Structure 1
Amino acid sequence: MAICGKISVEVAIKVEASKFFHILAKELHNIQNICERVHGANLHEGDDWHHPDSVKHWTCLIDGKAITCKEKIEAIDEEKKSLSYKLFDGDVGLNYKVFKVNVQVTETNNNEGALVKWSVEYEKINEDVKTPYAYLEYYEKGTKEIDDHLLKA
């Protein structure tokens, strides 16, 4: 069984790429009010939710279990509408030495919505740890909830 890997999922959304990306890049603090699997989020270190030096503390429902972790933005590319996050500590830190989440939002060719691609790069602490497919399901469901929220706004 592989200890390191990369898995990904693409989700088609109805809103335009810039609106969806704006939520992730500028309004991340609102995710807990939009996504039912996010049970809590707070700014752990720093003054700004969207600054790369800031650390957020999350409590989420993954695979039917409440998990905690800290998250830090590693890179933001406004032009490419992409973000990279590092997750660590809490339940994530107990199972993974490395856990990076990348997201990129791109317009579709017909400009009717967008595609959101989530990728998780990981290194398990040992072979007994599950491949984090449940995290991809979490991101997929959250993407649909954000899309629905933005369509209603």
Structure 2
Amino acid sequence: MAICGKISVEFAIQIPASKFFHILAKEFHNIQNICERVHGANLHEGDDWHSTDSVKNWTCLVDGKVITCKEKIEAIDEEKKLIKYSLFDGDIGQNYKLFKCNVQVTETNNESASVKWTIEYEKITEDVKTPYGYLEFLEKGTVEVGDHLQKA
């Protein structure tokens, strides 16, 4: 059984890439008000939700279980519509030495986009499950954000 790995999911949303990317890059604090599985989030360190030196606390529902973790943005590439996150501490830190999420949003036409989430991880032990539940959480959250943006 592998201790390190990379998993991903890619799918289409019916929202322009720039509109979806904007909420992740500039209005990330609103995710907790949009996504049912996000139970709470707050700024732990730093002055801005969207800078690379800020740390956020998250409480979410993953695989039917409430989990906590901290998250930090490692990089934002506006041109490529790519954001790299690092997750640590809490339930993540108990199970993974390394847990990074990347999201890339690609324009397919003026009305839709492709969203690709990638999780790179290193388990603390072989007994820890591969984080498919986290990938499902990200996919469902993306759909919820897309639905919210369609109504806005």
Q: Give the letter aligned to residue 63 of structure 1.
A: D
**1:90 shift after superposition:** 0.1
> Following the alignment from structure 1 to structure 2, what is the Cα–Cα distance between the partners of residues 85 and 4?
17
TM-score (norm 1): 0.98
Aligned-residue RMSD, C-alpha = 0.6
**1:112 shift after superposition:** 3.4
> Following the alignment from structure 2 to structure 1, what is the Cα–Cα distance between the partners of residues 94 and 137?
19
Structure 1 segment 89-104 matched on structure 2, within 5 A: 89-104=89-104
Aligned to 1:148: 147
Aligned to 1:83: 83
Structure 1 segment 18-97 matched on structure 2, within 5 A: 18-97=18-97
Deviations 1:114-146 (A, max 9, x none): 000000000000000000000000000000000
Deviations 1:68-94 (A, max 9, x none): 000000010000000000000000000
Aligned to 2:13: 13
Unmatched tracts of structure 2, length 5 or more: none
| Number of residue pairs aligned between Structure 1 and Structure 2 | 152
Unmatched tracts of structure 1, length 5 or more: none
**1:24 shift after superposition:** 0.3
Aligned to 1:125: 124
> What percentage of aligned pairs have identical amino acids?
80
Deviations 1:54-73 (A, max 9, x none): 00000000000000000000
**1:28 shift after superposition:** 0.3
Q: Give SS of 1:85's match.
A: strand
> Hey, which bits of structure 1, 4+ residues long, moved more than 2 A?
none
